[in-house]
Amino acid sequence: MSKQKVSFVCTQCDHIVPKWLGCCPECKEWNTIEEQKQQVYAPAQHSRVLAMTALSAVITKPAVKMLSGIQEWDRVTGGGIMPGAFIMLTGDPGIGKSTLLLQIAHNLAKHHTVLYFSSEESLEQVKLRAQRLNCLSTELLFADQANLDEIILTSQEHKPAMVVIDSLQNCFISNTHLLPGSIGQLKEAAFKLMRLAKDNTIAVLLSGHITKDGAMAGPKTLEHMVDAVFYLQGEDRWQTRILRSVKNRFGTINELGFFEMQETGLQEVPHINEHLLQEVSYNPGSVLISYIEGTRPLILELQALTITTKFGMPQRVVSGIDHTQVVLIAAILEKYLQVKLSTQDIFFKVSGGFKIKGSSADLGIALALLSSFFQKPIPEKCIILGEISLTGQIKPINYINLHVKEAEKFSINHLIIAKNQKLDYTSCAVMRFSHVYELLTIFES
């Protein structure tokens, strides 16, 4: 027995309201409320008691992850794709999602059966891309169908190692009134594909759209249903694509992979720090820090500009890092060093378009602000690592040896750290400080 239930749901935040409204009361977005009809099922009269078992009695088989040969992708996924994994790849339109999916599918098809379903493009369009990427092969099988029921039936018949669907929002389900891309459609489609992956041990790799705010399009429940969510993002200054892991049940989150868009597709950039260090200026207000994303240390440039304010209220313009973190460090410096940053406009950014968080950048922020205030540069090729407490104490950070090992690969010869920081052998000249008072000695010469 089932009956239909009518509800009104926001397509942006999944908030449910009793009637249609022009503006969602939760996310304040306009024209996002849609009417949804759902089937409400009554409990079956002849349900049976499920048999329970202990985990020790469950027979397991060792799972071997599927390597694509694209090292940046394999590392971000946690060492390859797990059989039966349900994965979502999302990103801006034109960022290169379809290109990356085709390259991954082509490489995996050399050793596994892979089915590629293109719901957005015809086979002729896909072939043109494959020719440009040199990804034409007889092992990789294609179909340009969007009917999800037919996709699932075909996958169950062929029993491939992986199914690629580009994209989920353009698939539709037969015998339903729901439109492709609607919340109800996406939920039902994701559930069916999840069961396809888990019941048949088939890895399912989807591409998905994002909203204008940069989040994965569709209800939040989609992120809970999939095993992994990867974002492909662009960098404005060079033609670089950043693959970021925001959820991964089979690996670490916040892992980064770097690619460069070329005529032959997305090419790996295994030594990203070389690119990052090419444009470092070593001018007053510029410092280098090392920041770990996932398992990879990145050498990033922090840039600060302080100037006497011309208005009653000083400006604080910050990008790439938490605004309050910069304001807090500025307050600590003014308290203990009597540096009048409260009368200064402060402009602060992380070079390269990266976004960082965490206290390991505290000392770098402090020295960038002081360097700009005194108009004296920090020594060239110097990495700054340390946390600053509210009392002005400089404290050690974690994984210091991993930071230093990466820095030494690129001829970094100076290191500024906390006085009690434990450090293995390094060829760098080390400067140790215990309190922000001592930082002024850097600028005395």
- Stretch 6-33: mean pLDDT: 83
Kindly provide the b/e burial profile for residues 336-374, where b requires at least 16 CB atoms within 10 angstroms of the residue's own CB.
ebebebeebbbbbbbbbbbebeeebbbbbbbbbbbbbbb
* Residue 209, pLDDT score: 79
Under the banding of pLDDT at 50, 70 and 90, the label for residue 220 is low
Beta bridge partners of 87: 205, 228
- Residue 233 one-letter amino acid: Q
Kindly tell me if the per-residue pLDDT of 39 is higher than 60. no
Rg of the chain in Å (alpha carbons): 26
Report the range of poorest mean pLDDT among 211-220, 228-237, 391-400. Answer: 211-220
265, 103 contact by CB (below 8 A): yes
Kindly tell me if the per-residue pLDDT of 86 is higher than 60. yes
Mean pLDDT of the chain: 88
* Residue 290, pLDDT score: 93
* Residue 237, pLDDT score: 58
User: Going by DSSP bridges, is the β-strand pair 382-384/296-308 parallel, antiparallel, or unpaired?
Assistant: unpaired
Kindly tell me if the per-residue pLDDT of 4 is higher than 70. no
383, 416 contact by CB (below 8 A): yes
Question: Which ranges of 350-415 would DSSP assign to H, the alpha helix?
Answer: 362-374, 400-408
* Residue 40, pLDDT score: 54
* Residue 42, pLDDT score: 55
Kindly provide the b/e burial profile for residues 428-437, where b requires at least 16 CB atoms within 10 angstroms of the residue's own CB.
beebebeebe
Under the banding of pLDDT at 50, 70 and 90, the label for residue 217 is low
* Residue 219, pLDDT score: 56
Report the range of poorest mean pLDDT among 16-25, 174-183, 376-385. Answer: 174-183
On the 0-12 / 13-18 / 19+ scale of CB atoms within 10 A, 150 is: middle
Could you tell me which residue, 137 or 416, shows the higher pLDDT?
A: 416
* Residue 382, pLDDT score: 93
What percent of the chain stands above pLDDT 90? 54
* Residue 213, pLDDT score: 62
- Stretch 232-258: mean pLDDT: 84
- Stretch 90-119: mean pLDDT: 93
182, 34 contact by CB (below 8 A): yes
Could you tell me which residue, 109 or 176, shows the higher pLDDT?
A: 109
Kindly tell me if the per-residue pLDDT of 377 is higher than 50. yes
Q: Give the dihedral of Cα atoms 416, 420, 425, 428; nearest 10 deg.
A: 10
Kindly tell me if the per-residue pLDDT of 3 is higher than 60. no
pLDDT per residue over 246-281, tens digit each? 999 998 888 889 998 888 889 998 888 888 888 788
Under the banding of pLDDT at 50, 70 and 90, the label for residue 238 is low
43, 2 contact by CB (below 8 A): no
pLDDT per residue over 147-200, tens digit each? 999 999 999 999 999 999 998 888 888 877 666 777 778 888 889 999 999 999
| Alpha carbon of residue 156 to chain centroid | 32
Under the banding of pLDDT at 50, 70 and 90, the label for residue 58 is confident
* Residue 46, pLDDT score: 66
Kindly tell me if the per-residue pLDDT of 1 is higher than 50. no
354, 292 contact by CB (below 8 A): no
- Stretch 49-55: mean pLDDT: 87
- Stretch 357-381: mean pLDDT: 94
